[in-house]
Amino acid sequence: MVDFTISDETRLLVETVGKFVKAELQPLESEVEEQSRVPPDKLKVVKAKAQALGLYALNMPAEVGGGGLATVDMCLVEEEFGKTSDPLIRRTFGQVYEMLMACKGEQRAKYLLPTVKGDRICCMAITEPGAGSDAQAISTTAVRDGNSWVLNGRKHFISDGDIADYAIVMALTDKDKRARGGITLFIVDKGTPGFSVGRVQHMMGHHGYGHAELVFENCRIGADQVMGEVGDGFRTMFGTVSKVRLGHIGARSVGMASRVLELCRHQANERKQFGKPIGDYQMIQKMLADMATEIYATRSMVLNAAWEVDQGRDPRDKVSMVKLYASEMMGRVADRGIQIFGGMGFSTEMPLERIYRDSRVLRIYDGTSEIHRMLIARSVLKNGFVL
């Protein structure tokens, strides 16, 4: 028996985030989409308000200035985040990566603490042209040279790579070991000789922040720029991947889909065709019923897997199921939403067409649907299916 009763404190936090998203961020969505950026003057205002309310870096431990939320509580907050666009989430609430906790010594004061405070922006440089879902297939190398490391390689599709103050770069330090002790994380500051930003790659969705190529050409950095331990990068990077998939994909998909369903509920009650509300027609009712059922199923999956994480378990198979089901559920809900709204749903006057485009990438990043199906199937074949 799993009890998902939440504390009054958590309930208040979730309500506060929900009201903030609706009042402060949703009105900015069209402007962000049109300008492909969050207007700096308005960003300054909403970010300051979020920080004043204690809503910045909620995923990070309290001892470093974050919100210190448990995984279940963070997923409930992420649902509310999902009711607005990704660039507004990033800029207002912070895109602070939990693997920054691997910082040690002077790195904590230079990178971890100011990033949690919102004074510095970090980007995560993993993906390469030849290494997407198969992250250990990276070709970027780091070679030890005395008390320095020399990086060579190219990353792409790096979110915020064009504006980040520094990058956490995953590189090969032992080509034979790879994921088993041959991959290391490095912190590379913007402006380091040999480190440059290539082209900014324009995307179908997620407008409002850059996705850039990062180029390393004989980029020399000190040994003190290693994050964590040499050879431990793959484990450090993916040690927090369950929380990322549960929150950024699972919970945000629930929030995004819930927003679509609410828009459709209103449309079905108000829009009339052939003399009666379209919600009276069984085909519309079927779409609404399927949307509600799939959202409920996804939310239950997210919270169950999040609860297991909080219990200290390793529910990686369930997290793969969440990632797979949530991303595909969101695609179906977005498609039905546009169908219910008809021509207006296809228009940029409604948020549905943006949500439709934004949701498409959920089935690709953090492991494609095909990869997660393969992982789930392998586990079933080896261990059976355990609830």
Q: Structural domains in the chain?
A: 8-97 (1.10.540.10), 122-231 (2.40.110.10), 240-383 (1.20.140.10)
Q: How confident is the model at residue 314 (pLDDT cuts 50, 70, 90)?
A: confident
CA angle 172, 177, 178 (to 5 degrees): 40
**Is 240's pLDDT higher than 90?**
no
Q: What's the average model confidence in pLDDT over 71-87?
A: 97
pLDDT tier for residue 42 given thresholds of 50, 70 and 90:
very high
Q: In the predicted model, is pLDDT for residue 358 greater than 70?
A: yes
Q: How far apart are CA 322 and CA 78, in angstroms?
A: 14
343-371 average pLDDT score: 95
The confidence score (pLDDT) of residue 136 equals 86
Average pLDDT over residues 24-38: 96
Residue at token pair 């390793």: 314
Instruction: Work out the pLDDT band at 239, boundaries 50, 70, 90.
Output: confident
> Strand, helix or coil at 105?
coil
- The pLDDT, as a whole number, for residue 241 is 82
Model confidence at 1, in pLDDT bands (50, 70, 90)?
low
Q: How far apart are CA 66 and CA 243, in angstroms?
A: 16
Summarised one tens digit per residue, pLDDT across range 129-173 is 998 788 888 999 999 999 999 999 999 999 999 999 999 999 999
- Lowest-pLDDT range, 162-166, 190-194, 239-243, 372-376? 239-243
CB within 8 Å of 40: residues ≥ 6 apart: none
Q: What is the mean pLDDT of residues 359-385?
A: 94
> What is the pLDDT at residue 68?
96
Q: Which residues fall within 8 angstroms of residue 372, CB to CB, at 6 or more apart?
A: 320, 321, 323, 324
In the chain, the amino acid numbered 18 is G
Lowest mean pLDDT: which of 4-13, 19-28, 238-247?
Answer: 238-247
In terms of DSSP bridges, do strands 183-189 and 166-172 run parallel, antiparallel, or are they unpaired? Answer: antiparallel
Q: Give the residue among 337, 333, 334, 330 at the shortest CA–CA distance from 365.
A: 330
Return the DSSP state at 284.
Answer: H
Find residue 154's DSSP bridge partners. Answer: 215
Helices (H) and strands (E) in the chain, counts: 15, 10
In which band, very low, low, confident or very high, does the pLDDT at 243 lie, cut at 50, 70 and 90?
confident
- The pTM is what? 0.95
Tell me if residue 148 falls in helix, strand or coil.
strand
What are the tokens at 193?
């000789």
CA distance 266 to 278: 10
Q: For residue 13, which of 61, 53, 65, 66 has the smallest C-alpha distance?
A: 53
Task: Tell me what pLDDT residue 386 has.
Answer: 72
Share of residues in the chain with pLDDT > 70 (%): 99
Per-residue pLDDT at 146: 94
Average pLDDT over residues 200-207: 94
In DSSP notation, 318-370 reads HHHHHHHHHHHHHHHHHHHHHHHHTHHHHSTTSTHHHHHHHHHGGGTTTS-HH
The whole-angstrom distance between residue 346's C-alpha and the CA centroid of its chain comes to 25
Average pLDDT of every residue of the chain: 95
Give which of 149, 138, 333 is closest to 255, Cα–Cα: 333
**Is 265 in contact with 288 (CB distance < 8 Å)?**
yes
pLDDT bin (cut points 50, 70, 90) of residue 2 is: low
Reported as a single tens digit per residue, the pLDDT across 259-303 is 999 999 999 999 999 999 999 999 999 999 999 999 999 999 999
Tens of pLDDT along 112-131? 999 999 999 999 999 999 98
Checking if the pLDDT of 75 tops 80, the result is: yes
pLDDT in tens, 327-350: 999 999 999 999 999 999 999 999
